[in-house]
Amino acid sequence: MTVRKIVTVVEETRTEGGRPVSPAARVAVVAAVIQNPWAGQGFVENLGPGIEAHASNLGALLAPLVLEALGAPAEAYGKAGIVGLNGEVEHASALIHTLKFGDHFRKAAMATTLLPAVEKRGPAGVTFDIPLKHVTDYTIRSHHQTIEVQVPDAPHPDELVIALAAATRGRPQQRLAPLSSEQ
């Protein structure tokens, strides 16, 4: 796995809706810009060998970095796979939609739910939104949120951007009734 760069973004919301947010809502994203392991091979029928070679290593690399950047336990989390223009969306999906990748983050965050995800193809500097949900209960509405991310010079046409995101809490000033109130 060739990693060109690691990008870390930390967003801290201290005021929302004209009111203070206490404690401040922190969201961290760590993205690895890597060479697409299937680049230049044409249509690859069996993605398995590339998944075996790279997915676990990416999860092991990113999970501790995003939690370190967050600086607190994660209450919400998500993931992203962005493929450069010479690749297929399936290339990004292959690396992030496997337990070999996601279990590193689940274990580090003491989470039990599936990681919500975004996958897309785009040019360098493409903007993408990473969805987040609660780490142990996907029905907790306050933790359904997104963070917008952009790596200005990635992905190059034969690269992938693989990212993990974590939040210290749900949306600031959330006021929606629990899902159970509608059932």
pLDDT tens-place string over residues 52-103: 999 999 999 999 999 999 999 999 999 999 999 999 999 999 999 999 999 9
AA letter at 129: D
User: In this predicted structure, what is the pLDDT of residue 27?
Assistant: 98
Domains and CATH numbers, the chain: 3-182 (3.30.1330.110)
Confidence check: pLDDT of 181 > 80: no
- Residue closest to 145 by CA, chosen among 136, 132, 163: 132
**Polymer length in residues for the chain:** 183
pLDDT tens-place string over residues 152-179: 999 999 999 999 999 999 999 988 877 7
Residue 142 pLDDT grade (very low, low, confident, very high; cuts 50, 70, 90): very high
Which pair of tokens denotes residue 50? Answer: 């590339």
Give 25: exposed, middle or buried? Use CB within 10 Å, 0-12, 13-18, 19+: buried
Which pair of tokens denotes residue 32? Answer: 């690895």
- Percent of the chain surpassing pLDDT 90: 92
Residue 19 pLDDT grade (very low, low, confident, very high; cuts 50, 70, 90): very high
User: In this predicted structure, what is the pLDDT of residue 178?
Assistant: 75
Helix, strand, coil % (nearest 5) of the chain?
25, 35, 35
